[in-house]
Structure formats: structure tokens, C-alpha cells
Amino acid sequence: MKDSAVAAEQKGPAHRTTGDLTRAAVSGWLGTAMEFMDFQLYSLAAAIVFNKIFFPDVSPAIGLIAAMATYGVGYVARLAGAVYFGRMGDRIGRKRVLYLTVLMMGASTTLIGALPTYATIGILAPILLVALRLVQGFGAGAEIAGATVLLVEYAPARRRGLVASLVSLGTNSGTLAASGLWAILLAVLTEEQLLSWGWRLPFLLSFGLMFFAVWLRRGLKESPVFEERPDVVDGVALARDEVESVIADTDGKRGDVLAAGIRQRKGKAFFLALGLRFGQAGNSGLIQTFLVGYIATELAVGRSVPTDAIVYGSLLGFATVPVVGLLGDRFGRRVLYLALSLLTVVIAFPVMFLISSGSTPAVMIGMVLGLNVGVLGLFSLESVTMAELFGSRTRFTQLALAKEIGGILATAIGPVLAATLTALTGSWWPIAAMLVIYSLITAASAFLAPETRGRDLVRLEDAI
């Protein structure tokens, strides 16, 4: 054990070139783009066609609820993936995990495009659909957390918000690509063509993106923060009992650093991160998933209008996301979190009033505004703030769990709950109320959280 203590003592700073940072940034952006493209492809398919080709023997309202439920099961698998891959990433490094997750996501998404339908094999079709969603979710459960951790740990302290916002741009890029593909399909294909073979094309085309992402990550270097961690020896984190032995054998500052990280009582940072996640995740499930199906099935609006609105909102997001990242680097995370979450509370009912009017311009304005303020702006802040809240020893695991538990509680359950409440009330107001509740939870968490801008990410303990 003395060898481990000596190795920890001799550890120096890990150096990365601009090229290394660029490769990490592109890798993080691409993997996250792939994750959100996969999930947005599925969510749009669930809202538009899956209720007809996988659940054809029920009423349209029940079919929509069933399709949204299959969307939600992926989030249960994401939680399992967050635990499994998060612990692996904290133990053996970030890059190995990110290689595996992108492979799992891409393969399962491609296979969804090859599935037989209910008309061909009956009840086995939705069963296979759910099985592939579980595999897809298991891989995705650590993808965005891993990409976030990698970029934040690579980035210069003064530009973490901007660099980490590339993860959010990845979500935006994936959403845009998926929504663009569906918008094209809806514009050029007939209903019969879309239901018979057209819906398969976006899923099958994702194979090319997976191939490129896997190739890119093969040459990725490990996070410099992971290599600098005082509890990492020869590329592997020491177990708790090994760290305790090192502490006993080490005098002075190094032993104090290790003790601070290993003996800190966890929980405060995690629950604050969960609250910060709630607003963005819940708003995303309502705006990017549920409202697409709601507008297409319940309002007298063309079926391409909601997907077009997501496309326009995503395009605007290419300005929103980096601007919020820069402002976070300039003014801090808390003040922007409070501003954006409270602004979402203010506009929730006006946005839903615009959407429910059935006017195409009003629907477009409402969707674009809600997406950029309540989803993309918050996501840009979330990318860096949640990573800074956690210590380096458990950053990957805690970040992945906070994201996925927040996803289950808000994003996965939200669309199903919204479908149920709107069916019961026959009105849009429950959707607006849910947007308000989600955003208030995030505002309260931001108020209670410490400012994390500029924090030393090598430290093993959490920020609070």
C-alpha cells in the first residue's frame, strides 16, 4: 500500500493540447447529439405513428398514452445504466465508458428501424420495441453525464460554461436532426407510405452517425482531472479501504485532501442537483414530446406544424445555448438559473394559450419560446453547474443519477401524466401548471445552491 501512497504523492498536472480539447469537444457534442437524436426520433415516432403501427387496436387517446408509456420505460433503463456506467466511469475513467455507451445506443436505435409491426407479428412487436428501448436507455443512461463530465474536466476554468454548453448544443443538434427528418417525411410522404415504410428511415440512417462517433472516441484521451485525482493510481481509482490505508500512511496536505473527499457525508449536493435538473427535464418532456402529439391529435392543426416548430426552436437554440454559457461564465450560475426558471413560470400560461389557439403562427411562437427559455437555456446551465457541484471521486455517478432520476420523475412520467390530465379535463391548463411546478422546483434549488463558477474540479469532495 505504500506504493499507492507514493504514486498519489508524486502525481502532477495532466497536460492536454488544444487538439485534445477539440477532439473531446467534438466527441462530447457528437455523442450527445446521437443520444438526443435517438430519443427524439423515438419520441416523435411515439407521438405520430407508433400508436397506429404498434398499438392499433385501441382508441386514439389510449394509443397515445400507450406510446408515451413505451417512451417512458427507456428512462427506467437509463437509471440502471447511470448506476452501472457511472460507477465504472468514476473507477476506470470517462473515455472507456463513453465508447461503450455510444455503441449501445446506436445499435439499438438502428434495430428499431428494422422491427416488424403489430400487423406482422402481433403482440410480439410492442414487446420487441420495449426491449430495444430498454437497451437504448441502458446505454444512454450515462452518455450525457459522461460527455458533460469529460468536457467540464477538459475545459479551462474561465470558459467551462461555454465549453460545457457544447453538450447542450449536442442535444439541440440531435433534436434538430430528428425533427428535421420527421418534418421531411411528413411533408413528402402520404399517410400510407409513412405508416408502411417511411417511419423506418430515420432509425436506419442513425447507423452512419454511430459509426463515426465510435471511430472518433477510439482516439480520445482520458480526462485530465481524472488523471490528476489523488485517489487514482495507474489509471484506476483506489477502493475506499485502500484510500483509508493511504491516508494512514500519508502525512500532511495529501492525507487531508484524501480524507476530505472520502469521509464527507454525501447528499446535499445530489438533492440540489436533482432539483436543478427537474425544471429542464420536465419542461423538455412536455414541450418536445407530449405537445407534439397533443397538437397533432387534439388541435385542428396540420401534422407538420409541431415538428416544424421544434426545428425552428432548435435553430434558435444554436444562439441561445452558447450565449447562456458565456453569461454563466461572466455572472455565475445561480443568477441565471433563477432568471430563466422564473421567466419560464411567467410565460407558461401565455405560451400554452398561444399553442391552444390552434393558429399556426401562434403555435410556432409558443413552442419556440417555451423550448428556448424553459428547456435549452436551462440545459446550457445544467451542463456545467451540476458537474461543478460534485467532487471528482463520485462526479460521474452522482451526475448520471441526478440526471436520470430527474428524468424518471419529470421527463418520463410527465408526458403520461399530461396525457391523462388533458384527457380528463379536456383543457390545456394542466400542461401550463406542470411547467410552472417544474420551474419553481428548479428556482428553489438554485436559490439554495452555492455558486460553483471557477471551482477546483480535482477536489474529491462535493461543493456543499
Coil, strand or helix at 237: strand
14-23, 70-79, 178-187: range with lowest mean pLDDT = 70-79
Report which secondary-structure segment, H or E, holds 159.
none
Please check the confidence at residue 397 and state whether its pLDDT lies above 90.
yes
Percent of the chain with pLDDT over 70: 91
| Among the listed residues 183, 203, 223, the one whose alpha carbon sits nearest the alpha carbon of residue 53 | 203
CA distance 460 to 464: 12
pLDDT of residue 183: 82
pLDDT of residue 213: 84
pLDDT digits (tens, 9 = 90+) for 158-188: 999 999 998 888 877 887 788 788 888 888 8
Q: In Å, how far are 175, 323, 333, 371 from 316, measured between CA atoms?
A: 12, 11, 22, 10
| Among the listed residues 221, 227, 292, 239, the one whose alpha carbon sits nearest the alpha carbon of residue 47 | 292
Q: Which amino acid is at 148?
A: T
Nearest-10 crossing angle of helices 60-92, 124-140: 30
283-297, 345-359, 447-461: range with lowest mean pLDDT = 283-297
H helical segments located in 263-412: 268-284, 291-298, 305-331, 333-356, 360-371, 377-389, 395-406
Residue 180 in contact with residue 84, Cβ under 8 Å? no
C-alpha cell at 459: 477536489
Coil, strand or helix at 446: helix
pLDDT of residue 1: 47
Residue 108 in contact with residue 132, Cβ under 8 Å? yes
Q: Which amino acid is at 331?
A: F
Residue 40 in contact with residue 375, Cβ under 8 Å? no
pLDDT of residue 64: 58
Phi, psi of 237 (to 5 degrees): -75, 140
Please check the confidence at residue 57 and state whether its pLDDT lies above 90.
no
pLDDT digits (tens, 9 = 90+) for 106-133: 888 899 888 888 778 877 887 788 888 8
CA distance 335 to 328: 8
Q: Note if the pTM is more than 0.75.
A: yes
CA distance 85 to 397: 8
pLDDT digits (tens, 9 = 90+) for 183-232: 888 888 888 888 888 888 888 888 888 888 888 888 888 999 999 999 99
Region 60-76 average pLDDT:
63
CA distance 279 to 434: 10
What residues contact residue 61 under an 8 Å CB cut-off, 6+ apart?
Answer: 297, 419, 423
Region 325-331 average pLDDT:
95
pLDDT of residue 407: 79
Region 82-104 average pLDDT:
92
Q: Is 454 left (phi over 0), alpha (psi -120 to 50) or beta?
A: left
C-alpha cell at 271: 438533492
Residue 289 in contact with residue 39, Cβ under 8 Å? no
Please check the confidence at residue 8 and state whether its pLDDT lies above 50.
no
Nearest-10 crossing angle of helices 2-10, 253-262: 100
C-alpha cell at 112: 428499431
Q: Name the band, by pLDDT with cuts 50, 70 and 90, for residue 255.
A: confident
Please check the confidence at residue 20 and state whether its pLDDT lies above 80.
yes
pLDDT digits (tens, 9 = 90+) for 425-440: 889 999 999 999 999 9
pLDDT digits (tens, 9 = 90+) for 343-357: 999 999 999 999 998
Q: What HEC string does 39-82 produce?
A: HHHHHHHHHHCHHHHCCCCCCHHHHHHHHHHHHHHHHHHHHHHH
CA distance 289 to 195: 19
pLDDT of residue 12: 54
Q: Which amino acid is at 463?
A: A
Please check the confidence at residue 88 and state whether its pLDDT lies above 90.
yes
CA distance 110 to 135: 12
What residues contact residue 131 under an 8 Å CB cut-off, 6+ apart?
Answer: none
**Positive or negative torsion for Cα 219, 224, 226, 231:** positive
C-alpha cell at 149: 463530465
The neighbour count for residue 136, using CB atoms within 10 Å, is 26
Region 326-334 average pLDDT:
95
C-alpha cell at 313: 426552436
pLDDT of residue 22: 86
